[in-house]
């Protein structure tokens, strides 16, 4: 399985970005697709996850309804639409292929076998 994330960039507070993650590999259909992020000096944290079979979605609490995860199975692509961005959303965003996803104590957790290379999101005026 290979994953390629794109769509990051510089945006002003309150702005929007849409991240994409294109995947390839015969076993990819069996995985859930997750997004993580890592800000400078901080640990990586789960952002969102989508189930390939029933389109169930999962979000960490800090998303607060601002982000939407979706997927196009025909193109093996997952999207993360991010609206109302805040400076604290600044991070490198990674996509992953995950065996499972769960929200525990408001935090998305996932067991991920494959990772994309990351795309930088900077929210600044």
Query: Which residues, 6+ apart, have CB-to-CB distance to 103 below 8 Å?
Result: 58, 59, 60, 61, 109
Instruction: Spell out the residues 6+ positions from residue 113 whose beta carbon is closer than 8 angstroms to its own.
Output: 1, 31, 96, 97, 98, 99
Judge whether residue 124 has pLDDT over 90. Answer: yes
Quick one: CA torsion of 57, 52, 16, 4, rounded to 10 degrees? 140
List pLDDT tens digits, range 75-105.
999 999 999 999 999 999 999 999 999 999 9
pLDDT number for residue 25: 87
What pLDDT, on the 0 to 100 scale, is given for residue 21? 97
Mean pLDDT over all residues of the chain? 95
Give residue 69's pLDDT.
Answer: 97
Residue 29 scores a pLDDT above 90:
no
């Amino acid at each position: 399985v290979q994953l390629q994330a794109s769509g990051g960039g510089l945006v002003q507070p309150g702005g929007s970005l849409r991240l994409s993650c294109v995947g390839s590999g015969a076993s990819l259909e069996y995985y859930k697709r997750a997004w993580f992020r890592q800000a400078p000096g901080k640990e990586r944290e789960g952002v969102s996850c989508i189930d390939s079979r029933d389109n169930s979605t999962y979000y960490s609490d800090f998303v607060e309804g601002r982000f939407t995860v979706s997927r196009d199975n025909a193109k093996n692509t997952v999207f993360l639409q991010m609206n109302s961005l805040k400076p604290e959303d600044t991070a490198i965003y990674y996509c992953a292929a995950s065996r499972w996803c769960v929200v525990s104590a408001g935090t998305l957790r996932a067991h991920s076998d494959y990772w994309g290379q990351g795309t930088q999101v900077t929210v600044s005026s």
